[in-house]
Amino acid sequence: MAILTDVLLWLHLLGVAMGVGGGIAMSRVAPKVIAAPAGERAQLWPLEKFLARVIAAGLGILLITGPLMLWLKFGGGAGLGWSFWAKMAFVAATTLGVGLGQWAGARLERGNENAAKLMSLSGPLTGISAVLAMLFAVITFN
């Protein structure tokens, strides 16, 4: 079982790396997409979408491996204390931020300029929530 849970933690940390790496790159690319005139936007979308996919895949890995570790290593979330629930709250906020970013990005690509504001909001929401989820993960599990 130790090997399985080691692999799950390794994947969990890879998920963190994908989210953080993709997110930092996205913090430079998304503002450029928003500011660019329509013609130039077309050239930036493939990079934006690639980064969005890396971020979503990282989050997906976290949301799959986390509950599996919880079940296999800790027998569920009960008894882990307040910091675990603080982590879960920031995981929910991170998931909301990623979802909002994907939704707003798709709307902007369809030409809805109002979506740019939501896209700009989703980045800091995701980044701040993810950093706090990591803090409470360390407080809980170390």
Interacting residues with ligand HEM (CB under 6 A)? 9, 12, 16, 62-63, 66-67, 69-70, 73-74, 91, 94, 130, 133-134, 137-138, 141-142
Q: Is 112 helix (H, G, I), strand (E, B) or coil?
A: coil
Q: Is 46 helix (H, G, I), strand (E, B) or coil?
A: helix
Nearer to ligand HEM, 105 or 127 (CB): 127
Nearest-CB residue for ligand HEM: 66
Least separation in angstroms between CB 18 and ligand HEM: 10
Nearer to ligand HEM, 49 or 73 (CB): 73
Least separation in angstroms between CB 108 and ligand HEM: 24
Nearer to ligand HEM, 25 or 36 (CB): 25
Least separation in angstroms between CB 62 and ligand HEM: 4
Q: Which amino acid, 80?
A: L
DSSP for residue 79: T
